[in-house]
Amino acid sequence: MNFLQSYFNYMKNPDGNWYRLLPNRSFAAACVGYLVAAIAWVVFFNIGDGLNVFSLTTKLFFVFLAEITLGYFIASLTGMLLSFQKIPVPSSDLFALLGSAGFIKTLLLIGALVFTCFPHAHVKFLSFLLLLFVLGLQFFYLSNVLKQWGNISFGRAFLYWMMGIFPGFVLFGLLGVFVLWGIILLF
């Protein structure tokens, strides 16, 4: 309940409540954000596939693990880059911030539900635009909060996030290639 109260206080006065969210960070709130993001990803990409309970929970589990692992990696790498520049933002705050940014991905869930109302329409392009919009909104949120916390410009905050996110995507891409390579070598 404390987390919801912090959120509503923030929405009443965003500029005055940036620093009140910082002491209220917690691992549980971050994990809830990562779980909401995982649910949004799974539903957005699989809503018309007729998922059963086992496949839904399996996909949700692995996407949640990927979200939280990538969150750890991005938060630690971005925190390291910020500490090199003498900007005092701990990695635990960045991890909680990434988790809170997962709530933005509920727009994907809403978009997937709206797109199912039009089964014969070609909504792939709109889905792609929605995905880009949500990711852009998430990066804007992360950069804006980092700008406030670190007293840096928006461009530098965006650059620090990109320098933390890009190696994470490369790492997961290479991991996927090696897993596929291992599966192919088994058969």
In single-letter form, the type of residue at position 99 comes to: G
List the pLDDT tens digit at each of the 187 positions of the chain.
465 566 566 556 655 555 555 556 677 878 888 999 999 988 888 877 777 888 888 889 988 998 898 899 999 999 898 888 888 888 888 898 888 888 888 888 888 888 877 777 777 788 888 888 888 888 888 888 888 888 888 889 899 889 888 888 888 788 878 888 877 777 6
**AA identity, residue 36:** V
What is the 3-class SS of 55-93, one letter each residue? HHHHHHHHHHHHHHHHHHHHHHHHHHHHHHCCCCCCHHH
Please give the model's pTM, rounded to 2 decimal places.
Answer: 0.78
Q: Note the pLDDT of residue 61.
A: 92
Dist. CA 14–CA 97, nearest whole Å: 15
Residue 180, burial from CB neighbour count under 10 angstroms (0-12, 13-18, 19+): exposed
The predicted structure's pLDDT at residue 22: 55
